[in-house]
């Protein structure tokens, strides 16, 4: 058992209690952040004369060697240590002797783990943003290619009005745009360094906390209140909240892909690489990736609720409960990353049946509102026009045809106002292209949207972060 404490204890920790208390099994993934923070701390201590320059250099060199050896697989993180902080310090002392014992001067594991978790979360925020960027690129390709692909738009899962596939995909592009904005906001609010806050009340050493913050890339400088610094996990809760919203968007998207993939719709063909078959039914091609994304959404929600519940009753400042901020958070981060990668792969290779989509829009009477508007423009009160077209829809249902298939005489049976112009008025092309309000699926407005999306991706690419 490798501990950073023990002088006031007369008995060793019970082996079972030690295992229950340890966190090395999951916080070892913070090794890079722990070493990065320790190097910055050592450089600051040396600069302030709290330790000698020689000791500072030796510590820095030793820590860099540990990082390199772990990265290259030459050093295995031992589960005998209580946590990653204990492991790194013990390994450092083993390598360089007494100077290694000076590393912990002026800090506590409380501000150390607060720093590690914040650094790790900030890195994962950037990774999530980059994955969303990749997904948006895949969606933009579809948007550009499918501006003339007509399909039904839905409300209540009932066919409502005609739109284009490009317009439908644009709705999800907007969702992921907001997701990325949220990530940038969270990153900015996490832009302050807790190291140097000590256990909760700072330290009597003459630390230069601003120097440490600068070395670690925190543009917001050092945190302002030491008690808040060690007990704050708001940034992590916000990140888990953002991940939950991302999963909600992915789940909605997945639900539509699953529906569109069904035999009843046949709007899409999912690439074989992102489908599976049945062990008993040879005809089956299942949308398992979309279903798993939909299913894993609840898992991510659970991580957010778990951390909120853990934090709700903790008095200031640090309590061991806060060790529970990691396992499920790590799982949520990994889950969302996996879902985004696989979903992007699926959408990059998916194909759409344009004819079936267009036929579905016609037979779903998505042009009924346009037929009513046609009458209104000829002076018929809207409520009367609504009733007339409703009767026409009933007639079509009886004959299993679309509005476009009615003869002019059949139109005139309900209103003499109809003339040959009705066919142009209710064509899907007309229905869509006459919708020219901002945000509508008309070609002109979609061209504006595509230009905006291209500009957005150029300005907010996966490398557009502050260093």
Cite the active site residues.
156, 278
Provide the token pair at 292. 């798993």
DSSP labels for 221-285? -B-S-HHHHHH--HHHHHHHHHHHHHHHHHHHHHHHHHHHHSTTT--EE--GGG-B--SS-TT--
Helix, strand, or coil here: 456?
A: helix
Strands 268-269 and 351-352 turn out to be antiparallel
Other C-beta atoms within 10 Å of 143: how many?
24
In whole angstroms, what is the distance from residue 156 CA to residue 418 CA? 30
User: In Å, how far are 299, 307, 352, 428, 454 from 144, measured between CA atoms?
Assistant: 34, 41, 14, 19, 10
How far apart are the C-alpha atoms of 74 and 307, rounded to whole Å? 35
C-alpha pair distances (Å), 85 with each of 30, 81, 98, 264: 9, 9, 17, 57
Residue 254: name the closest of 154, 350, 381, 129 by CA.
350
Q: Which of 164, 163, 162, 172 lies closest to 139, judged by CA?
A: 172
How many angstroms separate the CA atoms of 460 and 134, rounded? 11
Nearest alpha carbon to residue 198 among 80, 131, 118, 104:
104
Query: Residue 387 CB: number of other CB atoms within 10 A?
Result: 15
């Amino acid at each position: 058992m490798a501990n950073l404490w023990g002088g006031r204890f007369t008995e060793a920790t019970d082996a079972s209690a030690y295992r229950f208390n340890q966190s090395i099994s999951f916080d070892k993934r913070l090794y890079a952040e722990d070493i990065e923070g320790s190097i910055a701390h050592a450089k600051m201590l040396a600069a302030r004369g709290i330790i000698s320059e020689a000791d500072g250099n030796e510590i820095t060199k030793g820590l860099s060697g540990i990082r390199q050896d772990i990265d290259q697989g030459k050093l295995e993180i031992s589960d005998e240590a209580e946590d990653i902080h204990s492991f790194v310090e013990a390994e450092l002392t083993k390598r360089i002797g007494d100077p290694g014992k000076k590393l912990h001067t002026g800090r506590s594991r409380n501000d150390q783990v607060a720093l590690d978790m914040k650094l790790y979360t900030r890195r994962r925020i950037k990774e999530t943003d980059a994955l969303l960027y990749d997904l948006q690129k895949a969606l933009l390709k579809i948007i550009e290619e499918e501006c003339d692909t007509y399909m039904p738009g839905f409300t209540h899962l009932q066919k409502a009005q005609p739109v284009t596939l490009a317009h439908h995909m644009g709705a999800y592009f907007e969702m992921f745009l907001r997701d990325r904005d949220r990530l940038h906001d969270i990153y900015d609010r996490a832009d302050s360094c807790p190291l140097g806050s000590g256990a909760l009340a700072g330290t009597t050493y003459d630390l230069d906390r601003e120097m440490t913050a600068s070395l670690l890339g925190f543009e917001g400088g050092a945190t302002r209140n030491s008690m808040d610094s060690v007990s704050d996990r708001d940034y992590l809760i916000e990140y888990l909240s953002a991940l939950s919203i991302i999963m909600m968007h992915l789940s909605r998207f997945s639900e539509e892909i699953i529906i569109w993939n069904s035999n009843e719709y046949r709007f899409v063909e999912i690439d074989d690489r992102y489908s599976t078959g049945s062990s008993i039914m040879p005809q089956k091609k299942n949308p398992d990736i979309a279903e798993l994304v939909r299913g894993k959404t609840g898992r991510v929600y659970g991580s957010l609720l778990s951390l909120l519940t853990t934090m709700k009753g903790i008095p200031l400042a640090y309590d061991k409960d806060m060790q529970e901020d990691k396992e499920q958070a790590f799982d949520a981060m990994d889950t969302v990353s996996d879902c985004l990668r696989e979903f992007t792969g699926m959408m990059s290779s998916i194909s759409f049946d344009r004819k079936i989509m267009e036929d579905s829009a016609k037979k779903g009477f998505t042009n009924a509102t346009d037929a009513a508007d046609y009458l209104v423009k000829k002076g018929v009160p809207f409520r009367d026009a609504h009733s007339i077209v409703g009767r026409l829809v009933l007639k079509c249902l009886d004959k299993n045809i679309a509005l476009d298939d009615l003869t002019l005489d059949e139109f005139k049976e309900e209103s003499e106002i109809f003339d040959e112009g009705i066919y142009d008025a209710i064509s899907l092309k007309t229905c869509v292209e006459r919708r020219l309000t901002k945000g509508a699926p008309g070609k002109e407005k979609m061209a504006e949207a595509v230009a905006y999306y291209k500009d957005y991706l150029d300005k907010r690419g996966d490398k557009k972060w502050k260093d």
